[in-house]
């Protein structure tokens, strides 16, 4: 950080501000503290007639790999609104949301990933701006070696097992790049 977004000063410090417990950027001229908080990634597990909708990424990171439709939550959106918007933007699919399904704390990259169960409203889909292609997969046909992110892979694994049991509990997990998550 080079300049204060409040007053424009270049006199920034990175230390623990008075009355705080964590180091943060703060302006030595106007005393504004610049909080940097995790980004929320929201998405869905869209299904249609027993199949799961996946998108092949047309953007970095992980260009060309398969993912569930998801992306950053925008200011002013609820988690649900963001998940439905991302599904539309990436897969041109309208979904009816169900329950919150997985929440992953990805602390090492300052993110929280949230996925909702969702049923496609009409079975229509197409590649959006951030997708090379979009396809419905039976669980046995999912390209597991080409899944983009650990949170997506784990969500899909949970979903397939839970669908066989007919029970979809909400799961909250931490992603540690050094460990396999349960």
Which range marks the domain in which residue 134 is found?
Answer: 39-174
The DSSP H or E segment spanning 87 is helix 79-91
Query: What pLDDT score does 178 carry?
Result: 72
What token pair was written down for 23? 């180091």
Cα gap 173→151, rounded to integer Å: 9
> What residues pair up with 115 in beta bridges, in sequence order?
43, 102
Residue 28: give its domain's CATH number. 2.20.70.10
- If one counts the domains in the chain, the total is 2
Whether residues 49 and 139 share a domain: the answer is yes
Q: What is the mean pLDDT of the chain?
A: 95
pLDDT at 176 over 90: no
Q: What is the pTM of this model?
A: 0.87
Whether residues 112 and 57 share a domain: the answer is yes
Whether residues 51 and 69 share a domain: the answer is yes
């Amino acid at each position: 950080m080079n300049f204060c977004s409040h007053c424009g000063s270049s006199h920034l410090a990175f230390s623990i501000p008075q009355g705080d417990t964590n180091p943060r950027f703060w302006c030595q001229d106007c005393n504004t503290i610049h909080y940097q908080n995790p980004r929320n990634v929201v998405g869905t597990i869209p299904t249609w007639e027993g199949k799961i909708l996946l998108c092949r990424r047309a953007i970095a990171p992980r260009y060309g790999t398969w993912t569930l439709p998801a992306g950053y939550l925008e200011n002013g959106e609820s988690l649900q609104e963001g998940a439905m918007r991302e599904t539309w933007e990436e897969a041109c699919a309208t979904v009816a949301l169900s329950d919150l399904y997985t929440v992953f704390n990805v602390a090492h990259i300052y993110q929280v990933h949230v996925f909702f169960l969702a049923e496609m409203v009409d079975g229509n889909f197409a590649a959006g701006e951030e997708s090379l292609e979009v396809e419905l997969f039976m669980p046995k046909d999912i390209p597991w070696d080409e899944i983009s992110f650990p949170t997506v892979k784990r969500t899909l694994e949970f979903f397939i097992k839970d669908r066989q049991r007919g029970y979809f509990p909400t799961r909250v997990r931490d992603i540690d790049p050094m460990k396999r998550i349960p």
